[in-house]
Amino acid sequence: MKKIAKVFFVLVLMTTAIAANAQKVQKFGHIDFSSLIQTMPGQDSINSAYETYAKGLSNQLTTMQAELENKQMDFQAKEPTMSNIIKQTKEKELQDLYNRLVDFQQQAQQDLQNYENELLKPLIDKARKAIEKVAEENGYTYILNSTQGMVLYSQPSNDVMPLVKTKLGIN
C-alpha cells in the first residue's frame, strides 16, 4: 500500500510539473533587422566608406578592361602581318590578361563583401545587444528577424522595433 501511495505521489508531482511547464507562456516578437541597421547613427559614414572603397576597385577594373580592349584592338589590327609564333605569344598574353581581369573581378567582389561586413560589425553587435536587452526586459522568449521573411505563419507577435530604437536612442 505504501508503494502504491509513493508511486501515486510521484505521478501527481510529475503531472503537476508537466502542466506547469505547459502553461508557461512564450512571448514572441519580431523586428526588421535590416531597417534597424539602416536607421542607426553611423550608417552614413559606413555607406560613404563603402562607396569610396567600391569606387577604387571599380576604377582599377575599368583600367584593366581598357588595357585588355586596347591590346585586343592592336592584335586584331596587326594579326595579318604577324608570324605564327608572335601570334601565339600575343594570344597567350591576351588570354593571361583576361584571366587576371576575371580573377581581379572575383577577388574585388569578395573584398568588397568582407569590407562591408567589417564596417557593419560594430553596428550589428550594438543592435543585437539592444535586442537582447529589450527581450530580457520585456519577457520575450523569441524575437524573429522579419527582414528575411523566414516565418511563413505565426500567431500575432509584437514588433519590438520601437523598443529597440528607444534603447539605442534613435528617434
Question: pLDDT by residue (tens digit) across 13-38?
Answer: 566 656 555 556 788 888 888 889 99
State CA 118 to chain mean position distance.
11
**Helix, strand, or coil (residue 144):** strand
Phi/psi-derived region of residue 31, left when phi > 0, alpha when psi is between -120 and 50, beta in every other case: beta
Query: Higher model confidence: residue 141 or residue 12?
Result: 141
Q: What is the pTM of this model?
A: 0.69
Domain ranges of the chain: 2-168
Distance CA 161, CA 112 (A): 29
Cβ distance 147 to 61 under 8 Å?
no
The string of pLDDT tens digits covering residues 54-80 is 999 999 999 999 999 999 999 999 999
Cell (9 digits) for 47: 555607406
Distance CA 131, CA 26 (A): 17
**Residue closest to 48 by CA, chosen among 123, 117, 116, 114:** 116
**Residue closest to 78 by CA, chosen among 64, 60, 94, 66:** 94
